[in-house]
Amino acid sequence: MGPQLPSLTAKQLVKLLKRHGFETAGFDGSHQFLRHPDGRITTVPMHAGVTIKKGLMHEIMRQCGLTRDDLFRK
């Protein structure tokens, strides 16, 4: 089993995803939609000051096709 994911806020996660080419595709209430030019999409709940829980973080990474190492690489 690899190292644990660090706790991230939604703002921090969006910043990391944008480094990997994801762009804001819109908002719906407190949710931000991100799209990659190759068609991958994900939704990040934007609740100020709240950290993203581990299960949701893994699901977002799965949707984006990124591993833990990929996410923090760039």
The predicted pLDDT at position 1 comes to 45
CB atoms inside a 10 Å sphere around CB 23: 11
Whether 58 is in a domain gets the answer: yes
Residue 11, pLDDT above cutoff 60: yes
Which residue type is seen at 59?
Answer: E
Residue burial 27-36, b: 16+ Cβ < 10 Å; e: rest: eeeeebebeb
Q: How many domains does the chain have?
A: 1
In a domain, 16, yes or no: yes
Tell me the pLDDT band of 6, cut-offs 50, 70 and 90.
confident
The CATH number covering residue 24 comes to 3.30.920.30
Domain of residue 53 covers 10-71
5, part of any domain: no
User: Does residue 18 belong to any structural domain of this protein?
Assistant: yes
